[in-house]
Amino acid sequence: MLPGGALRAQIGTLVIATSVIQLANGFFSTFVSLRVAIENFDAAGLVLSAYFAGFTLGALRCGKIIERIGHIRSFAAFAGLVAAATAVMPLVIGSLAWVILRAIVGFGCAGIFVTTESWLSAKALPSERGRVFSIYMVATFLALALGQLLIARADIKSAGPFSAIVALFAVALVMVTAARAEPPRVSATAALPYGLLTRSAPIAVVGCALSGLVGGTFYTLVPAWMQDQGIAQATIAVFMLVAVLGGFAFQIPVGRLSDRFDRRILLALLGLGFAVTAFVMVLLPRSLPTLLPEAVFLGGFMSTLYPVCVAHAHDRMPSDRVVAVSGQLILVNGVGSVLGPLIGASLMAHFEIDGVFYFMAAAALLLAIVAGLGVLMMPAPKHLEAPFEILSPQAGPLAHDPLDASYESVSAQ
């Protein structure tokens, strides 16, 4: 067993390294959206969706890689993969090349987060695990938000931002591989037959798909549209920052409400709230004083849809299926995240940004209707103990990662 000070230093190193990666990731996502708008790719929607496709695949498959080569090597491999793909992007500019490279980046980022979160959970003492993960999520969430501010000073047309992103991933890689660390052991997890989750928790499945649809559309297409409109990069950075911080601000109060009331009612209210806010975005003048409050509510409603759906699914499934349930919800959410930018980009080509907001509003309204009908047709399930998790927009689904089954079986080192 590691001494207390050494263990805290190891956990602190992991948290800081992952925060550096989220800083890069927050900047990278908005930067690519703006750069794609400048390049005017024919398959812009596909380029923007590729990250989510790779992220979803990585979330589902990287557990096997970690089991085979261990946590430290896995972190190094995934971070190196992201750095290499990022470095190639300014050298090979084209739709097909960037689709492949962004998918690789998504796969690598998913691997980094699964590696880190399973490592943290296994190393932290059971009595401190909740506090460790709270610190981890707050740190990475704030880093993701701060990454938006880098947009204000970035030269979008140059290769400089790519180099900065590579440097940040390299810093995180050095921090983890150079630290004195004893990685945890991992074990394989049980599978869940497809279809069982859909029959047991249909609202959660539909909600996760629509949540991915909305989130993927917002984070990829809204910055690109603002860039096309000639809006200053500093303004775009502030808007995206406020949206991310709005999502963070909503997590704790929504989590408390989720654990006290029928989650389906709360899910219906969140979907309705997002739909109303999206409609307001279309109707009101688009000036900064009106956009920023709207961004708070958009980010808040949008970022809490997924965790409420996850909690509702776990309410309806046996506790021994928690990992398999989370894996399937990641897949469903990822499919929605891939389809959202593709559909949204097509709508934006014909109806400008209004079509995108109507599309997101319709998806959120559909979720509200499905959840409302569920309340009328099915009895409320019994809540599990504190199943709601604070989830960041991009790493959030991995808070229930595929290695969770090994958490309790691995003693603190």
Decide if 401 is inside a domain. no
Say if residue 358 is exposed, middle or buried (CB neighbours under 10 Å; 0-12, 13-18, 19+): middle
Residues 291 and 363 in one domain: yes
Q: Is there a single domain that holds both residue 45 and residue 94?
A: yes
- Looking at residue 412, its pLDDT comes to 35
Inter-helix orientation angle 263-283/202-228, to 10°: 20
- Residues 172 and 208 grouped into a single domain: no
Domain boundary among 362, 377, 392: 377
Q: What is the pLDDT of residue 129?
A: 65
For residue 92, the 8-state DSSP code is: S
Q: Number of C-alpha atoms within 13 angstroms, CB side, residue 52?
A: 33
Q: In the 8-state DSSP scheme, what is residue 184?
A: P
Same domain, 235 and 327: yes
Q: Does residue 81 sit in the same domain as residue 107?
A: yes
One domain, residues 105 and 207 = no
3-state helix, strand, coil in the chain (%, to 5): 80, 0, 20
Paired tokens of 383 = 């809540």
Q: Please report the pLDDT score of residue 261 as a whole number.
A: 83
- The per-residue pLDDT for 177 is 82
| One-letter amino acid of 353 | I
Query: Are 261 and 142 contained in the same domain?
Result: no
- CATH number, residue 92: 1.20.1250.20
Looking at the structure, do residues 210 and 63 belong to the same domain, yes or no? no
Where in the sequence is the domain holding 94, given as residue range(s)?
A: 4-185
Q: Which DSSP string do the residues of 222-277 spell out, in sequence order?
A: HHHHHHHTT--HHHHHHHHHHHHHHHHHHHHHHHHHHHHS-HHHHHHHHHHHHHHH
Classify residue 405: in a domain, yes or no: no
Task: Answer whether 195's CB lies under 8 Å from 108's CB.
Answer: no
Confidence (pLDDT) at 134: 66
Same-domain pairing of 341 and 293: yes
80-111: b (≥16 Cβ within 10 Å) or e: ebbbebbbebeeeeebeebbbbbbbbbbbbbb
What is the token pair recorded at 220? Answer: 């990829």
Contacts 24+ apart (CB under 8 A), 228-235: 228/37, 233/34, 233/151, 233/152, 233/154, 233/156, 234/151, 234/152, 235/288
CB 301 within 8 A of CB 270: yes
CA distance 225 to 282: 14
- Count Cβ atoms below 10 Å from residue 10 Cβ, excluding itself: 21
pLDDT given for residue 116 in this prediction: 83
pLDDT of 113:
86
pLDDT at 67: 81
pLDDT of residue 108: 94
Query: In the 8-state DSSP scheme, what is residue 317?
Result: S
411 within domain boundaries: no
Q: Are residues 239 and 338 in the same domain?
A: yes
Residues 159 and 15 in one domain: yes
135, 164, 185: which is the final residue of a domain? 185
98 and 238, same domain (yes or no): no
109: nearest Cα among 77, 135, 133, 138 = 77
Does residue 382 lie within any of the structural domains?
no
Question: Which of helix, strand or coil describes residue 211?
Answer: helix
Contacts of 401 (CB under 8 A, 6+ apart): 59, 63, 113, 114, 117, 118, 326
Domain count, the chain: 2
Is residue 223 in some structural domain? yes
Separation of alpha carbons 304 and 79, rounded Å: 28
Tell me whether residue 387 is in a domain. Answer: no
In a domain, 190, yes or no: no
Ranges under pLDDT 50 in the chain: 1-3, 386, 395-413
